[in-house]
Amino acid sequence: MATWNSRGLRGSTLEEFINRTNEKYLENGLALIQKVPTPITPINIDKATRHITLAYFDQKSTVDYIGAVQGIPVCFDAKECNTDTFPLQNIHEHQVVFMENFEKQMGIAFFLISFTARDEFYYLRFAKLLEFWNRAKEGGRKSFRYEELEPDFFLRKSRGVLVPYLDAMQKDLAMRD
DSSP-assigned beta bridge partners for residue 113: 79, 122
What is the enclosing helix (H) or strand (E) of 70? none
Q: How many residues does the chain have?
A: 177
What is the enclosing helix (H) or strand (E) of 165? none
User: What is the Cα gyration radius of the chain?
Assistant: 17
- 64 is annotated as contributing to ligand binding: yes
* 132 SS3 class: helix
Which of 68, 57, 9 minimizes the C-alpha distance to 34?
Answer: 68
- Helices 126-137 + 93-104 axis angle, to 10: 140
Which of 111, 137, 114 minimizes the C-alpha distance to 125?
Answer: 111
- 62 is annotated as contributing to ligand binding: yes
In the annotated binding site for Mg(2+), the residues are 62, 64, 77, 95
Binding residue positions: 62, 64, 77, 95
